[in-house]
Amino acid sequence: MRKTETEPNLTGFLLAHSAMRQEFGMLAEVAGQPLDERRAALFEDQVAMVLEVLHHHHTAEDDTIWPALRKRHPTARAGLDELEADHDAIDPLIRAAGDRNLPLAERAAVLRDLHERINLHLDREEAVAVPLISKHITVTEWDALGKRAVKETGRRIPDVYGWYASAVDGLRVAEALRTVPVPIRILFRLAWQPAYRRRARRLYGSATPVRAAG
């Protein structure tokens, strides 16, 4: 559903959720397979990318979004406390999943656990926080968080955009692209999306891999 001009556009935020809902389970499957040197390097790069995105996503919520919502809607404190506690429980899994000193079999188990916990957390976040964000975070504040996310993503923007698009249908991708400048749309269509599809095919065996959440 399109947001009015008085409400923040959560399309990109929810695209990130869709991408995170599937990726850790798929990475767990790859970690349990024999990997040649090239695929192992791609696996490590993919793990690093998605963990960075997850870390920045949680940090923005913890230091900006949750405090603002607690102040503006005090009756939501209990639900927001649960979301923050989820982050605390997920943080050690983020560290372990990215630890290259751990055996791949151990990291595969961590990634499976992370897949399950992330999906439960995102279910809670979309039920509790998303409606509050729409009502209590201003468009200006939300746009500033979007600019912060782009800055933090840096050189990984092409891969992150491709990753998000791999997790949803074309209509949702088109909706998200309406919020970005025309040059970015052109780059995405001509270069970023095809490049990510090649990357996904090398890593997962499919250009648009999909794994059911749960």
H or E element at residue 162? helix 157-166
- The answer to whether 142 touches 33, Cβ cutoff 8 Å, is no
Q: Is the pLDDT of residue 184 over 70?
A: yes
Q: Is residue 76 part of a domain?
A: yes
* Residue range of the domain that includes 82: 11-153
Domain assignment present for 166? no
Q: Would you say residue 176 lies in a domain?
A: no
Please tell me the predicted confidence (pLDDT) of residue 5: 67
pLDDT of residue 208: 64
Ramachandran class of 205: left when φ > 0, alpha when ψ lies in -120 to 50, beta otherwise? left
Task: Answer whether residue 175 is part of any domain.
Answer: no
**Cα–Cα separations (whole angstroms), residue 19 to 7, 51, 162, 164:** 23, 12, 10, 5
Contact 87, 62 (CB under 8 A): yes
- Mean predicted confidence (pLDDT) in 81-106: 96
Q: Domain for residue 46, yes or no?
A: yes
| pLDDT level of residue 179 (50, 70, 90 thresholds) | confident
The band of 207, judged by pLDDT with boundaries at 50, 70 and 90, is low
Q: Which of 17, 14, 205, 13 is nearest to 121 (CA)?
A: 17
Q: pLDDT tens for residues 41-57?
A: 999 999 999 999 999 99
Q: Does residue 78 sit within a domain?
A: yes
Buried b (16+ CB within 10 A) or exposed e, 52-85: bbbbbbbebbeeebbeebbeeeeebeebbeebee
At 105-121, the pLDDT tens digits run 999 999 999 999 999 99
Assess if residue 207 is contained within a domain.
Answer: no
Supply the CATH number for residue 124's domain: 1.20.120.520
Query: What is the Cα 47 distance to its own chain's centre?
Result: 12
Name the pLDDT band for 2 (thresholds 50, 70, 90): very low
Structure tokens at 130: 């998303």
Ranges 113-117, 177-181, 191-195: which has the least confidence: 177-181
Residue 19 forms part of a structural domain? yes
Query: Mapping DSSP to helix (H, G, I), strand (E, B) and coil, where does residue 210 land?
Result: coil
Structurally, the chain folds into a number of domains equal to: 1
Predicted confidence band of residue 31 (pLDDT cuts 50, 70, 90): very high
